[in-house]
Structure 1
Amino acid sequence: MLFIQSGWGILVVPIVVGTAIIVGALALLSLQALDTPNLPLLAFCLGLFAAALNWVTGRRLKNTPPHELIYPATNARVLLTRRHALI
């Protein structure tokens, strides 16, 4: 399997893994304290929280304005934007 990363897209891996570990440990401790282990709920919470954290991080990284260049021969305007992706 091949992964292609551009910009800050590599942050997806530590955010998802770190979130899964932290939220999983907190959820496990909470469920053990209640003496009702509910693993489907735990998996749902992990996925939802990791997705939300990834989305917020991605929105902040993509919030930078594009760079504007003007091609002198034709006076054409070109906008350069940074792309952050992990494909």
Structure 2
Amino acid sequence: MANVQGLTAVAIGIIVGLGALGAALGIGIMGSKFLESAARQPELVPMLQGRMFLLAGLIDAAFLIGVGVAMMFAFANPLLSALQQG
């Protein structure tokens, strides 16, 4: 039982950590490409800015889904209930 709880804590840390790293890298790369394109064609900035914010929201939503899954494992761990029944 303690082994499952310990490995679950490690998995939660990996899920949240890699999700945050991926979201930060994705938003950073997207922001740099937006600045490059805005410098090359300033007349397209309003269209590109709207798309950039849409993609930033989607990237952040993917990270928050990962946090939700991690919190499910933290507070309602299905592995522990399966272990207790078996």
Place the TM-score, normalised by the shorter chain, in its bin: 0.3 to 0.5
Q: Report the TM-score when normalising by structure 1.
A: 0.42
Tell me the TM-score normalized by structure 2: 0.43
> Which structure would you say has the larger Rg?
1
Relative contact order, higher structure (CA 8 A, sep 6+): 2
Greater helix share, structure number: 2
Between Structure 1 and Structure 2, which shows a larger proportion of strand residues? 1
